[in-house]
Every structure is written in structure tokens, then in C-alpha cells.
Amino acid sequence: MSRVGKHPVTIPEGVSVSFADNVLTGKGKNGEFSFKLREEVVVDVSDGKIVFSPADESCTARSMWGTSRAIVAKAITGLAAVFVKKVNLVGVGYKASIQGKNLVMQLGYSHDIVFPISEDVKIVCESPTCIVVSGANSQRVGETVKRLQKFRPPEPYKGKGVIIEGQYVYRKEGKKK
């Protein structure tokens, strides 16, 4: 039995949810979403709550029950509140700035890195070494942060690179004489 699926999803104020033709749609102040549910999952939207249940006792139905509930709960949370992740640039001369619809980063290469900002995420530079990525979809926010980190991953010897706030960089000892 799913431990996640049996808990109902509460709908916060300011968010409207409707269910028709196996498609769950929601609208809120941060945007809207739609999620196509599989036939193995039964949904009941009433009294400000969304209740998920499996259509039968098959293994697929039980696994999709909890998965569907988790995806919808995260999407509804994004309609009411914004997901935020901070990224720090650690290194001599590492800095970032916003130019139009692009994020321009200097990360120790011979050229600047131009990163186009997509429509569903918002990127702000609080300082030259701190980037804040926010959006209604937590998956897209995390994906954008990881794409930024790929340009200069944290290295263990000096601790330089693009580091997500809260991430621990394991430090190694250098060569000994």
C-alpha cells in the first residue's frame, strides 16, 4: 500500500483545480498546469482536497497511485508559492550579470558564457557572485540550476566552482612533499 498516495492533497486558497477526461488542470497566481492521469488512478476533487486511489489492485496501479499524487502535490504547491534555489560562484574573478534575456557568466574561461533564460524560470543576480533561480515548477528550477553548475562543477581541491547553496563540497588534501 502506498504511504504517499493515501494522503489527500489540500488545495490552497487562490488555486482552482478541475478534473475532466483524465486530465487534472490547475490555475493559480504563478501560472497553470495540466497533468494527464493514467487509467489505473482514480481521482476525486471535492471539499478543497484531491483524493487519489488505485483503480484496481495491480502492481502498476499501486505504483502510479503514489507517483501521480506526488507530481500533482508538487505542481499545486508551485501554483501557490514559488520554488527558489540560490547558486554561489566561488573563485577568483567568477561573476555573473543579466543582459537582456541572457545570463552572462565569467567562470575563468577565455570567453564569457551566455546562458539564455527560459520563460518559465526567473533568474536574478543578487550580487556578482550570487544567482537566484525561481519558478513555479520545481523540476524546471532544479534543471536550470544543474545546467548552470555544469559550466564549472565544484572541484574538491580548492573548493572553486558553481556551488548550489546548501551543497557540501567534499574537500581533498593536495599533494604532499
Rounded to an integer, the average pLDDT of 167-175 is 90
Kindly state whether residue 14 falls inside one of the protein's structural domains: yes
Total number of domains in the chain: 2
pTM across the whole model: 0.84
Mean model confidence pLDDT for the chain? 92
Query: According to the model, what pLDDT value does residue 63 have?
Result: 87
Long-range CB contact pairs, 10-13, < 8 A, 24+? 10/48, 10/49, 11/48, 11/49, 11/50, 11/76, 12/76, 12/77, 12/79, 12/80, 13/80
At which of 55, 80, 105 does a domain end? 80
Residue 71 has pLDDT above 70, yes or no: yes
> Percent of the chain scored above 90 by pLDDT?
72
Kindly state whether residue 20 falls inside one of the protein's structural domains: yes
Q: What is the CATH number of the domain that holds 134?
A: 3.90.930.12
pLDDT (tens digit per residue) in 148-168:
999 999 999 998 999 999 999
Q: Are residues 58 and 129 in the same domain?
A: no
